[in-house]
Structure 1
Amino acid sequence: MATIVLSAVGTVLGGPIGGAIGGLIGNAFDNEVLFKPKGRQGARLADLQVQTSSYGTQVPALFGTMRVAGTVIWATDLQETSSRSGGGKGRPSVTSYSYSASIAVALSSRPVRAIRRIWADGNLLRGVAGDFKTEVGAFRVHPGDEGQPPDPLIASAQGIGATPAHRGMAYVVFEDLALADYGNRIPSLTFEVEADDGAVSLDRIASDLSAGRLAGPAQISVGGFAASGADMREAVMPLVSAYGLGLRSGAEGLALVDTAAAAGTIADEALAQRVNGRAIDAVEHSGGSADGVPVALSLRYHDAARDYQAGVQRVTRPGAGRAESGIDLPAVLDPDAARALASERLRAAWAGRARMTARCDWRALGLAAGDVVAVDQASGLWRIEEREWEATAVRLALRRLPGGGGAPPAGAGSGAIVRPVDAPHGPTTLMLADLPRITDGVANAPLIVAAASGGAGWRSAALFVTGTSGEAVPIGRSAGRAVMGVADTALSGGSAQLVDRRQSVSVTLLAEDMMLPSADEAALDQGRNLALLGRELIQFETAERTGAATYRLTGLRRGLRGTDWAMADHGAGERFLLIEEGRLVEPLSMQGADAEAGSVLRLSAVGIGDVAQAEATLTISGEALLPLAPVHMRARRDGAGGWAIAWTRRSRDGWRWLSGTDVPIAEESESYAVQVMDGTVLVRAQDRTSPGWTYTADMIAADGMAGRSVTICVRQRGTYALGRAASLPLIL
């Protein structure tokens, strides 16, 4: 029988190990199908997608490029870090906690070239450029060579003498991986491992797995393959099943072969006519039932177009039947190749119903079990499954192989996939702003906000306040990615009472994926499209995209929230920030400090992957505390040689005009500082408690200003600060 013959051949070629391989393969032929499965076979796709940490879990040998979950081989307990913020001016302090962990994950029992993308709970943790989307202290790759040293972090925790180097095994180590994005637990990780440069032939795979004792078809290659199992047979079994490989032994050794061409022909003259003097039928045909062939076959594989996740190609055959079967192939294929492979296996199952027994003369000893042959008395190609010396003839058991052609049409798809955005983090841009109150109510402290942003992959940054001593104190993290940029044109002055439809301003945003929407009147009334341009707050009706990251803004509301004083102070290159409360933080409140007018705030931000910190400095003016400048200043002669000056007050608690009533004072009392200015020289100062004052003839004479040009300046005195001045030129 074939078992005896192949065992002997294996022993001759490879010693006891080769004999074990030969006996194993021969036994497979005795079971009528090469490498017929016996129980669980090799790696299943699910094994490569679920991370484990069980002791004794097998680590696959990776070829080409694969996506695997790996096995956690070492981990620390969760490390807790607490930070305290707030607590200034009677505000309660807030203590927040963050968690991190350090872990080591084994990926391949064969050396690898590189680790590319990494996913955590299905979300991208590391991009194709090597940038991390979540904060990590350090990341190291141990490629699995025979000279790699123990990992320093593990050695520091376990002791250098108790830390294995894991030579021959590729693994990675994360130091202080932040867990806030994953519910403060270690996420399920998957890795894109590049074990070889480019596709790998089946010959390379078979040779590596058998230490050079088994060859394979060099013309067949896969983008990647994960080999595992109890022995070499289980490791290569998925490839044998999927590609319908046969095994051939010869002077060169053992080799897996495909069915592309016949190794020989069984001619009519080679058939035995008599055995031991008795006439025989040299060829006997038999066939299996059609019901024994599945009506559909599904091939499960790894699809590079799906980020190396599992893909499925399903083919069917016409005719009766209900059974379906499937093949798990832990290899990387394109959809067309996978569909063609599934179709070929279904055709092989259909053609393989036909069997033949041929009794030949001694010339058949030149053919080996596993060879593909042509037979003069039968069409098609046939594989030799058994070869036995029987009496004075050589008995060959053959199974028919599918004929050429019949491949499915190209165009198989990979299916839809929700792919996480893999965009670069980019350098962090930081902006500080001293804003008036942008919501209803009265402020009792300056509103100092910080906005940070970066490239399309930017998420947040760590914030630090630098004190007078130069020490940088961490205060927490920024909010999400703010929409910001710079103005390309200088906006001229305008009116805070009218919608400016004549002018426009062009802005270039920080990144091309940032967007500015248009808004109707109702949306604007609810606060949409509020933006800081320089130091003026504006709203815009229409945002017209004019370039990759450039917008033209029209339908402008100017000088909002009392910033009309800044309307005439614009220039190209000034900063632009879309005001969205959820994307702003108050750094001084986070620090638990109070903002004092005139003090200087120095803030820095460091995002993931930043090589240099972003810095911003702001001298605090306390815009939220300043009373607004009065409006509608007017003067009339009082009939006695003097001038009656009047004005209308505004309020920092009166952004909306409700019922036509006066806006609230919003200060402890109503008080105004009136000044008469001769150029830059103060001529007279007067305090008032109502919105009016008379510059009498006696005052004018005493000041020596009769017939002179002066400027009347009026400021409202607030609870915390003196407001900006409203001015009225006057010739006395």
Structure 2
Amino acid sequence: MAQATLTIVGSYFGGPIGGAIGSAIGAMIDNQLFPAKAQGPRLSDLSVSSSAYGEAIPRFWGSRNRAAGKLIWTTGLIETETESRQGGKGGPATDVTEYQYSMSGAWLIGEGEIAGIDRIMMNGKTVYDANATPPVTDWGLWSDIQIYLGDFTQMPDPTIEAYEGAGNVPAYRGSAYIVITDLQLQDFGNSPPNFEVFVRARDNDTVSRVVLDLCEGAGIDPNTISTSSLSALPLDGLAIGTDVTGIGVFEQLGLVYNFDTAEEDGTLRFVSRLAAPLGYISYEDLAGHEGNEDRPEAIRWSRRPETKLPREASLVYPDIDRDNQAGTQSTRRATGSSQNNLKSEVAIAMDADRARPVADRMMWEAVNSSQTGECATDDRFLHVSVGRKYFFETPAGVESLRVVRKTRGADGIIRLSLQRIIDGVYIPSSDPVPSTVPDNEVALPGETTLALLDAPLLLDSQDDTGFYWVVAGQEQGWRGCFVERSSDLGNTYQVMGSTGRSAAIGELETAMPSASAATWDRGSTLRVRLVDASDSLESKTELEVLNGANAAWIGDWDGKDGEIIQFADVTQISDDLWELSTFLRGRKGTEHAIGTSAIGHAFVPLNVGTLQRDDFGAGDWYKERLYRGVSLLTDADDADVVAFSNGGESKAPLSPVLATGTRDGSGDVFIEWVRRSRLQQAGLGNGPLPLGEESELYDLEIYDGPTLVRTEQVTLPEFDYTAGMQTADGLTPGDPVSIVIYQISGVRGRGRPGTFTV
């Protein structure tokens, strides 16, 4: 049989290992849909560091390999004891003993000389990166690191000799290894970490180099090997970390790089499957038989049933775009009733561009090679090489068929097993699916921008004596924050609240000009630079704005006397710069602040999802407290401190409006005005405007120029200013009267003033 025949060929080439490789050739050429595979290297072989006797020593080719080191020497855990005294200051003192652990160790990387170590990772964290600018070396974790590249001149390591004694330590020549002195273990659970390295064995390695190295290791004479078709095939990386056969490695390389292995005239040849056919065999030469037998059919074809074919083919490989973590490329047939899946795992590092055509080829080669043929000929075709393509003359015409088995019986008849080949299978026909590329870095938590607002009441349900606060995370890694408050000048802080919701807080790049609060402001623009460039603003229709959308507070960062605006149109200028236009101004009774904003002032969106509120009672009003937004996973002492005092603005009545004065013939002036409420009107036709206070009460001030001449307190929005009162106040009846009106809150006192001349 073919397997036996090829084993004899392999034994001819060199001893028992050579025989194993020869048998592999038969296994590769005789590859069917789901054959038994020789064990090859796997991705998981080198993922976890270990230190057991008898384990295989890894070997590497190419410049993109990731492997776990094997701990070959260690001092064991070294315990360091430290004592400190805590307490005192009038109370009992306590002596506290703490223990810290370290170790020195040597990790074996692999067999043979390598070009370098690009990175070292411990428990998934990069602690050494030779390619960074400048190189990253975490000297805080160790006192010294030595990397031995595995040449045959390296000397014993001095750290190991210091423990074991000079002359008692091997130099491990021909093996790459790393020695770390005084590795601190606190960050690794006080135990040796999982130790991984990115190995650069050789730059510009080729598949030909791997094949020659493996054959040399098997004792095969390099003069009897032909790898010319493989010399131009670049190899990013190949790591072998377990006891495997040459068979398993050749199968993986042949799968990825699309070649077969065959023996021709005493030479072991590695031949591309795209190589041209070697010869021509006519129809008349395909019916070999003994003289007393009937002439057989030239080629007897057979086909495997549909249920034996694969539905999906997947290739699992070390993805060089994902730090050599496992990547998968799959292809699937849209037709057919088969539910079989074909999966191959290789230890050959590559990217998605190389892996996807391999998955396609796995699928369609299995489907197209399901039709096989058998034919017989004579010794004239003894030269036919297994694994090579030939032109065969068939009833369907001349076809390119691969010879997958050749036997010669005692009757002198050569029997060939053929496989129908479609060369298009070996040409990529679909685009790869890129893998998600992790950066293996934990994003920094980022700082928190905290805005505290002494602002008007926004929702009736929040009608208390408190204030609003909003936060913005400044970096991609921001995960939320605690907001802390101090009422003793920063000696102690208490947590006031926490949130994981970041608002699009920004800073004004331009100031808002004055405008009317009574109509749309279509002439002004406002530029805002957001704290976090990943945040965004969006336009809304004018109807949506009238219904409450796109509200924001603008004003000084002290949170006082800001204007509430709404905006409809938004234009992005750059990543973090936005221009707003089409405004409603002075919302929620803040018309007094129109035109007071300045460059550098705060822009704080008033969204229900991000707006927070806390209440410490009216007794806390007008007292400056310290606040800080502490990002999760950061030190509270590093947070910015903000001074803020709550003035109870949300309890302040809004200023009265639309004051008028009606004079009669005697010179009396009847003054009346319209009150406004801090609370929401239920809607037109749904009753009077809510009072929002315990009782209706107003202070009315009358001025003669800058001089206050009269103060009256009334319970209705009206006052009869008689001619006699005017004369007593030094005014001339009939002249204009300057007045200031305040609505009174039982909690807050006077609200915002309304100033009029009647």
1:503 aligns with 2:516: no
Shift of 1:638: 6.8
Pick aligned residue for 1:446 from 463, 466, 473: 466
Counterpart residue number, 2:541: 519
Pick aligned residue for 1:723 from 737, 741, 750: 750
SS of the aligned residue for 1:451 comes to strand
Shift of 1:621: 2.6
Counterpart residue number, 1:289: 302
Counterpart residue identity of residue 688, structure 1: V
1:691-725 per-position Cα deviation (integer Å, ceiling 9, x unaligned):
33455556555555558987422222213213344
Alpha-carbon contact 2:657-2:676 (below 8 Å) kept: yes
1:127-153 per-position Cα deviation (integer Å, ceiling 9, x unaligned):
xxx9xxxxxxx999x999832649967
Shift of 1:676: 3.7
1:462-493 per-position Cα deviation (integer Å, ceiling 9, x unaligned):
54446612556555643423234345554333
CA distance in 1, matches of 2:740, 2:631: 45
Across the aligned residues of Structure 1 and Structure 2, the Cα RMSD in angstroms comes to 6.3
1:670 aligns with 2:674: no
Name the CA shift for 1:488/1:415 in 2 (closer, same or farther; >3 Å). Answer: same
Alpha-carbon contact 1:61-1:228 (below 8 Å) kept: yes
Counterpart residue number, 1:105: none
Counterpart residue number, 2:331: 313
Shift of 1:558: 2.7
CA distance in 1, matches of 2:40, 2:757: 96
Pick aligned residue for 1:532 from 549, 553, 562: 553
Pick aligned residue for 2:456 from 436, 444, 447: 436
Shift of 1:220: 3.3
1:147 aligns with 2:147: no
Name the CA shift for 1:329/1:219 in 2 (closer, same or farther; >3 Å). Answer: farther
Name the CA shift for 1:258/1:250 in 2 (closer, same or farther; >3 Å). Answer: same
1:617-628 pair list within 5 angstroms: 617-628=643-654
SS of the aligned residue for 1:341 comes to helix
% same residue: 21
Pick aligned residue for 1:38 from 31, 36, 39: 36
Alpha-carbon contact 1:670-1:717 (below 8 Å) kept: yes
SS of the aligned residue for 2:651 comes to coil
CA distance in 2, matches of 1:58, 1:695: 105
1:252-305 per-position Cα deviation (integer Å, ceiling 9, x unaligned):
99886544558999999xxxxxxxxx9xxxxx9875523379766753135979
Alpha-carbon contact 2:329-2:352 (below 8 Å) kept: no
More displaced stretch, 680-689 vs 607-616: 607-616
Alpha-carbon contact 1:598-1:620 (below 8 Å) kept: yes
Alpha-carbon contact 1:286-1:354 (below 8 Å) kept: yes
Pick aligned residue for 1:575 from 599, 602, 615: 602
SS of the aligned residue for 1:22 comes to helix
More displaced stretch, 629-638 vs 722-731: 722-731
1:366-377 pair list within 5 angstroms: 372=388
SS of the aligned residue for 1:646 comes to strand
1:359-407 per-position Cα deviation (integer Å, ceiling 9, x unaligned):
589x98xx9x97858799999686686799x9999x9986657778435
Alpha-carbon contact 1:149-1:165 (below 8 Å) kept: no
1:210-253 per-position Cα deviation (integer Å, ceiling 9, x unaligned):
99669973433566778677624445544444555444689999
Counterpart residue identity of residue 672, structure 1: Y
Counterpart residue identity of residue 584, structure 2: R
1:396-407 pair list within 5 angstroms: 405-407=423-425
Alpha-carbon contact 1:62-1:109 (below 8 Å) kept: no
Alpha-carbon contact 1:531-1:538 (below 8 Å) kept: yes
Alpha-carbon contact 1:30-1:386 (below 8 Å) kept: no
More displaced stretch, 460-469 vs 242-251: 242-251
Pick aligned residue for 2:18 from 12, 17, 22: 22
Counterpart residue number, 1:712: 739
CA distance in 1, matches of 2:60, 2:730: 97
CA distance in 2, matches of 1:696, 1:557: 39
SS of the aligned residue for 2:749 comes to coil
CA distance in 2, matches of 1:146, 1:234: 27
More displaced stretch, 325-334 vs 203-212: 203-212
Name the CA shift for 1:476/1:727 in 2 (closer, same or farther; >3 Å). Answer: closer
Alpha-carbon contact 1:386-1:397 (below 8 Å) kept: yes
Counterpart residue identity of residue 490, structure 2: S
Name the CA shift for 1:152/1:466 in 2 (closer, same or farther; >3 Å). Answer: farther
CA distance in 1, matches of 2:266, 2:621: 88
Alpha-carbon contact 1:295-1:316 (below 8 Å) kept: no
Counterpart residue number, 1:631: 657
Counterpart residue number, 1:3: 7
Gaps of 5+ in 1: 12-18, 74-107, 120-129, 131-137, 171-192, 269-277, 279-283
CA distance in 1, matches of 2:313, 2:753: 80
Gaps of 5+ in 2: 72-107, 111-115, 125-131, 133-139, 149-175, 283-290, 292-296, 556-561
CA distance in 1, matches of 2:239, 2:406: 31
SS of the aligned residue for 1:604 comes to strand
1:599 aligns with 2:599: no
Pick aligned residue for 1:220 from 233, 242, 252: 233
1:12-411 pair list within 5 angstroms: 19=16, 21-29=17-25, 33=29, 37-38=35-36, 113=118, 146-147=177-178, 149=180, 163-164=191-192, 169-170=196-197, 201-203=206-208, 217-221=230-234, 231-232=244-245, 233-234=247-248, 237-241=251-255, 243=257, 245-247=259-261, 258-259=272-273, 261=275, 289-291=302-304, 298-301=312-315, 309-314=327-332, 326-330=342-346, 332-334=351-353, 337-338=357-358, 341-342=361-362, 345-346=365-366, 349=369, 353=373, 372=388, 405-407=423-425
Alpha-carbon contact 1:427-1:607 (below 8 Å) kept: no
Alpha-carbon contact 2:651-2:747 (below 8 Å) kept: yes
TM normalised by structure 1 equals 0.62
Shift of 1:540: 3.3
Name the CA shift for 1:407/1:649 in 2 (closer, same or farther; >3 Å). Answer: same
CA distance in 2, matches of 1:515, 1:115: 42
CA distance in 2, matches of 1:66, 1:292: 42
Counterpart residue identity of residue 604, structure 1: G
Alpha-carbon contact 1:151-1:165 (below 8 Å) kept: no
CA distance in 2, matches of 1:582, 1:197: 56
Alpha-carbon contact 2:513-2:524 (below 8 Å) kept: no
Shift of 1:624: 1.0
Name the CA shift for 1:514/1:572 in 2 (closer, same or farther; >3 Å). Answer: same
Counterpart residue identity of residue 465, structure 2: A
CA distance in 1, matches of 2:572, 2:476: 18
CA distance in 2, matches of 1:38, 1:29: 14
Name the CA shift for 1:199/1:656 in 2 (closer, same or farther; >3 Å). Answer: farther
CA distance in 1, matches of 2:367, 2:674: 92
Counterpart residue identity of residue 596, structure 1: W
Alpha-carbon contact 2:525-2:579 (below 8 Å) kept: yes
Name the CA shift for 1:313/1:585 in 2 (closer, same or farther; >3 Å). Answer: same
1:577-613 per-position Cα deviation (integer Å, ceiling 9, x unaligned):
3321112233x56x99985334244323437799975
Alpha-carbon contact 1:313-1:338 (below 8 Å) kept: no
SS of the aligned residue for 1:532 comes to strand
Alpha-carbon contact 2:303-2:372 (below 8 Å) kept: no
SS of the aligned residue for 1:602 comes to strand
